[in-house]
């Protein structure tokens, strides 16, 4: 579509929306009310608590079998890599991001493109785990998203014109950005990616109107924070849990973004693996007194003051981390059956944690995958009970000094659960967790930091744990830790999950199936073949009295790039790039 037609189309849409009493910018109140407001989807997670639950029940267990496509939209071109976006819907327009840092505005009634923005990516970008983007944010008159060269861009939501474009970090040092931004009280809050390159994870908050940096909080101890253009406070205490100068390249990327708990006015961000992977270089390979080798605040969840960037609390899921068990997985705010305000998170390390929402204190933890080897359990304080022989060996102790002892560890470094978001149903009280049953041969190697180069100090080969499945969607009771039902899938699960008040659970598979399950029994009630692997995030909304469901299809992500034997098992899967929207047939919609 040429620029003249884009402008005319956008103008007509804006005029039509205003005539219907719409067209006002998105407000903080609208973001806070996103879950209950079923006519749009304004936040990543369908609510900043990240429950990914809709109160809509037009679609239900009885009629979902009749769901059919309403329209489809192709991302087109040759950029067919992994499509991990979660769509947003507002004022008659759907917004999706695509691989290689693209953003599209689409008419929700027809599926026709209104405008498209392609970031001008420089040569030399260093994306770790595919050229993906997980979604945008909307506020005021603007739509925001991040780019693979570690920038954050604000566009006019109606026209796609650039409002501002700001640098998050130096892409030449290995930084990138793939998460959906988070907006709270007029601030656009971002993390960063690049943990495999010895970067330093941080959280930044900008004025949404201007893009000006308000505060920054590095998440590795020893680094100074910033507030209103001046140094604020140091993160942690210098060298308390890091030896020497290792903290300067300590990793901890905040690459999945965060959530917001309105009840406690707290941002919650997860942090990635410490760098390098070789834990012996970080004095984490040997048990020490206290927490001297924990390498804070890597592999942790942090509660952050949204006004100042100060850390309120932390919970470290994997202290002394040595298997690439990032702590970034989403933290979901919910209320348990006894009325207690809780957080839940299913960690890459294979344990499902419940925390107190007031202070992040440990409540409980249970394994949600079957064969955890690196720890024998979690103690009463929330600290792992390490299985020390399962730590990859120290290369300096090897005869040639080049390769430490190889161990088989489970889960693999891609995790019992990776980035793909789980969902919660307030109706059943359950969490629906996309997990994978796999392990790895892993060993440590010598490594020194070099700017812009991989900083691992480890080698690995991923292997399936079972012949009949890798992926496993599990319904977990957070109060008891009991797994109520399980759906096994041949290939790894890498898509997000959504629940509805109609008793449905939606997710997709790499084999291309978009599936609706009974939320109580796990029975498959409906499926649709999309033509490519699903690694995106479904949404649902109401339009003209009908309930619509949308998901993006397009195989890619980390599994084909890092999956070892698993990658070979699924190398037949086709790439794509297609957005599918579903509804009930018109004659059934009113029944």
Q: Is 301 annotated as a binding residue?
A: no
Q: Is 418 annotated as a binding residue?
A: yes
Q: Which domain holds residue 292?
A: 125-519
Which pLDDT belongs to residue 419? 97
State the DSSP H helix or E strand holding residue 15, giving kind and residue range, or none if neither.
helix 3-19
Q: Is 40 annotated as a binding residue?
A: no
Which pLDDT belongs to residue 386? 96
Q: Is 494 annotated as a binding residue?
A: no
Which pLDDT belongs to residue 1? 40
C-alpha 48/C-alpha 227 separation (Å) is 24
**Three-class secondary structure assignment of 128-142:** CCCCCCCECEEEECE
Which pLDDT belongs to residue 290? 73
In a domain, 513, yes or no: yes
Which pLDDT belongs to residue 587? 55
Which pLDDT belongs to residue 19? 32
In a domain, 15, yes or no: no
In a domain, 7, yes or no: no
Which pLDDT belongs to residue 589? 53
Q: Is 190 annotated as a binding residue?
A: no
In a domain, 379, yes or no: yes
State the DSSP H helix or E strand holding residue 64, giving kind and residue range, or none if neither.
none
Q: Is 134 annotated as a binding residue?
A: yes
Per residue in 109-135, is it b (16+ CB within 10 Å) or e — as a string? eebebbbbbebebeeebbbbbbbbbbb
Q: Counting every residue, how long is the chain? A: 591
Per residue in 46-65, is it b (16+ CB within 10 Å) or e — as a string? bbbbbbbbbebebbebebbe
| Residues annotated as catalytic (active site), given as ranges | 324
In a domain, 559, yes or no: no
C-alpha 278/C-alpha 428 separation (Å) is 42
User: Residue 73: left (phi > 0), alpha (psi -120 to 50), or beta?
Assistant: beta
| Beta strands per DSSP E along 445-494 | 458-464, 471-476, 483-489
In a domain, 208, yes or no: yes
Secondary structure class of 586 (helix, strand, coil) = helix
- pLDDT, tens digit only, all 591 positions of the chain: 443 333 334 443 333 333 333 456 999 999 999 999 999 999 999 999 999 999 999 999 999 999 999 999 999 876 778 999 999 999 999 999 999 999 999 999 999 999 999 999 999 998 888 999 999 999 999 999 999 999 999 999 999 999 999 999 999 999 999 999 999 999 999 999 999 999 999 999 999 999 999 999 999 999 999 999 999 999 999 999 999 999 999 999 999 999 999 999 999 999 999 999 999 999 887 777 778 899 999 999 999 999 999 999 999 999 999 999 999 999 999 999 999 999 999 999 999 999 999 999 999 999 999 999 999 999 999 999 999 999 999 999 998 888 999 999 999 999 999 999 999 999 999 999 999 999 999 999 999 999 999 999 999 999 999 999 999 999 999 999 999 999 999 999 999 999 999 999 999 999 999 999 999 999 999 999 999 999 999 999 999 999 999 999 999 998 988 888 888 888 888 888 999 999 999 756 544
Q: How many domains does the chain have?
A: 1
Q: Is 162 annotated as a binding residue?
A: no
CA atoms within 13 A on the CB side of 542: 16
Token pair in block for residue 205: 């908050």
State the DSSP H helix or E strand holding residue 267, giving kind and residue range, or none if neither.
strand 266-270
The one-character DSSP state at 566 is: H
- In which order are the strands placed within the sheet that holds 498-500? 53-54, 498-500, 504-508, 513-518, 524-529
In a domain, 429, yes or no: yes
In a domain, 561, yes or no: no
C-alpha 318/C-alpha 326 separation (Å) is 8
Q: Is 84 annotated as a binding residue?
A: yes
What's the pTM? 0.94
Which pLDDT belongs to residue 197? 95
| DSSP per-residue codes, 139-155 | EBTEEEEEETTTEEEEE
Contact at 8 Å (CB) between 317 and 351? yes
Which pLDDT belongs to residue 17? 36
Contact at 8 Å (CB) between 404 and 397? yes
Domain of residue 201, CATH code: 2.140.10.10
């Amino acid at each position: 579509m040429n620029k003249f037609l884009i402008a005319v189309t956008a103008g007509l849409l804006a005029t039509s929306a205003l005539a219907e009493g719409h067209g006002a910018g998105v407000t903080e109140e609208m973001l806070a009310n996103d879950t209950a407001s079923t006519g749009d989807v304004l936040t990543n997670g369908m609510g900043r608590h990240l429950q990914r639950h809709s109160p809509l029940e037009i679609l239900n267990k009885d009629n979902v079998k009749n769901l059919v496509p309403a329209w489809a939209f192709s991302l087109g071109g040759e950029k067919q890599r992994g499509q991990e976006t979660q769509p947003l819907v507002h004022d008659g327009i759907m917004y999706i991001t695509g691989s290689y840092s693209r953003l599209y505005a689409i008419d929700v009634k027809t599926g026709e493109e209104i405008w498209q923005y392609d970031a001008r990516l420089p040569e030399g970008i260093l994306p770790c785990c595919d050229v993906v983007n997980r979604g945008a944010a909307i506020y005021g008159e603007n739509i925001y998203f991040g780019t693979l060269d570690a920038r954050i861009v604000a566009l006019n939501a109606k026209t796609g014109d650039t409002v501002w474009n700001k640098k998050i970090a130096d892409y030449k040092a290995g930084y990138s950005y793939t998460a959906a931004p988070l907006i709270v009280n007029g601030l656009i809050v971002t993390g960063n990616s690049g943990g495999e390159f010895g970067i330093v994870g941080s959280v930044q908050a900008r004025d949404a109107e201007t893009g000006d940096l308000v505060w920054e909080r590095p998440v590795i101890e020893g680094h100074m924070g910033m507030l209103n253009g001046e140094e604020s406070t140091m993160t942690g205490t210098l060298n308390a849990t890091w030896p020497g100068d290792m903290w300067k390249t300590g990793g901890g990327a905040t690459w999945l973004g965060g959530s917001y708990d309105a009840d406690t006015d707290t941002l919650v961000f997860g942090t990635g693996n410490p760098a390098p992977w070789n834990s012996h270089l970080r004095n984490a390979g040997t048990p020490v007194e206290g927490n001297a080798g924990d390498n804070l605040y890597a592999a942790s969840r942090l509660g952050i003051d949204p006004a100042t960037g100060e850390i309120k609390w932390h919970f470290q899921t994997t202290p002394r981390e040595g298997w690439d068990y990032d702590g970034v997985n989403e933290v979901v705010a919910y209320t348990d059956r006894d009325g207690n305000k809780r957080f839940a998170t299913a960690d890459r390390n294979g344990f499902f944690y419940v925390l107190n929402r007031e202070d992040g204190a440990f409540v409980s933890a249970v394994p949600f995958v079957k064969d955890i080897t690196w720890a024998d359990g979690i103690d009463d304080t929330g600290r792992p009970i390490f299985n020390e022989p399962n730590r990859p060996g120290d290369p300096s102790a090897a005869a040639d000094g080049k390769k430490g002892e190889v161990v088989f560890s489970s889960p693999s470094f891609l995790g019992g659960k990776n980035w793909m978001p789980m969902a919660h149903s307030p109706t059943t009280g359950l969490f629906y967790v996309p997990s994978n049953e796999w392990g790895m041969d892993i060993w440590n190697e010598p490594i020194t930091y070099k700017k812009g180069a991989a900083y691992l100090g480890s080698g690995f080969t991923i292997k399936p744990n079972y012949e009949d499945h890798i992926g496993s969607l599990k319904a977990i009771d957070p109060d008891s830790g009991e797994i109520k039902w399980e759906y096994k899938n041949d290939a790894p699960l890498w898509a997000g999950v959504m629940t509805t008040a109609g008793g449905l659970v939606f997710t997709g598979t790499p084999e291309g199936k978009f599936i609706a399950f009974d939320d109580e029994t796990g029975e498959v009630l409906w499926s649709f073949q999309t033509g490519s692997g699903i690694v995106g995030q479904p949404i649902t909304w109401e339009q003209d009295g009908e309930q619509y469901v949308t998901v993006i299809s397009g195989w890619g992500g980390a599994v084909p790039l890092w999956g070892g034997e698993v990658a070979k098992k699924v190398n037949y899967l086709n790439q794509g790039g297609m957005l599918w929207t579903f509804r009930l047939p018109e004659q059934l919609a009113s029944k």
